[in-house]
Amino acid sequence: MKAAKITAKIRDAVPVEFYEDGNERAVYKNIEIPDSLKALEINDFRFITPEDGKINFRLYFAPYTLPEIMPEPKPPVTREQRRAEKAAKTLLASLTAAKAAEAAKAVPAPGEDYTIATTEGTIIAEIHHADLTDEAPAEAEEPADEPAAIRFDVPGKKRGALTRAIADYTGNEALYLNPPSYAYQIGTLGLERDGSLIGELPAGLLEALAEQGFIPAE
């Protein structure tokens, strides 16, 4: 179980103790636990009630699970920041709805941004015109069609003879590719295990092979 799953069930201000291999590594208020620690797997958990009566929550981790240097507590989110985040979501929803209704005046012009910030000037959200457009993305170029395979009926040693014939004609060395393909690579051509010749054929190759008795299978 990840730490986030169990800590989500307790109050924000409850202290959470992080224990690894029987040793306390850090204590955070629940609301301040860094996201990187929430993603870690726990071995066990339990509530701890010290003499002062204040409940602590303890998470147990396997050795070497926690980072060597424990991260700083997550900065608390102020009420103003929460309101700004909510306002940003509301604004985006309103603008998107206006775009759908073709209310052009409610849609920012290209390059124009809507910015939500706290009174201290901290930017919470930026909504760009591109977020509101529904233009279809540019279509990716379709890959070129792969050359069709030409299959020869060359079981056993006959495939080796065909390989040598192709190598002699093209002037390229034949390389055996070993398992699992058992194919030969002859320049830009490939001769598969089933006798399929793949690649762009040089002019006159099929005629030259036919003179040696290698006829494509129907």
Over the chain (218 residues), the average pLDDT of each successive run of 10 is: 83 89 92 91 87 82 92 82 79 71 50 62 65 57 67 89 93 89 91 91 91 88
Residue 104's pLDDT is 45
Q: How far are the Cα atoms of 98, 155, 181, 184 from residue 190, in angstroms, in the given order?
A: 57, 16, 11, 6
Residue 103's pLDDT is 47
Beta-bridge partner residues of 29: 15
Residue 26's pLDDT is 94
**Coil vs helix vs strand at 3:** helix
Q: What is the DSSP string of 92-118?
A: HHHHHHHHHTT-GGGSPPTT-EEEEE-
Q: Which percentage of the chain shows pLDDT scores above 90?
A: 38
Residue 128's pLDDT is 64
Residue 211's pLDDT is 93
Residue 106's pLDDT is 47
Domains present along the chain, CATH in parentheses: 3-61 (no CATH), 79-132 (no CATH), 150-211 (3.30.310)
Residue 112's pLDDT is 58
Cβ atoms of 168 and 160 within 8 Å: the answer is no
Residue 62's pLDDT is 93
In angstroms, the CA 127 to CA 116 distance is 8
In angstroms, the CA 171 to CA 50 distance is 84
Hey, how many other C-beta atoms are within 10 angstroms of the C-beta on 37?
24
Q: Give me the sheet containing 56-61, strands edge to edge.
A: 23-29, 15-20, 56-61, 44-48
Phi-psi region of 96 (alpha: psi -120 to 50; beta: other; left: phi over 0): alpha
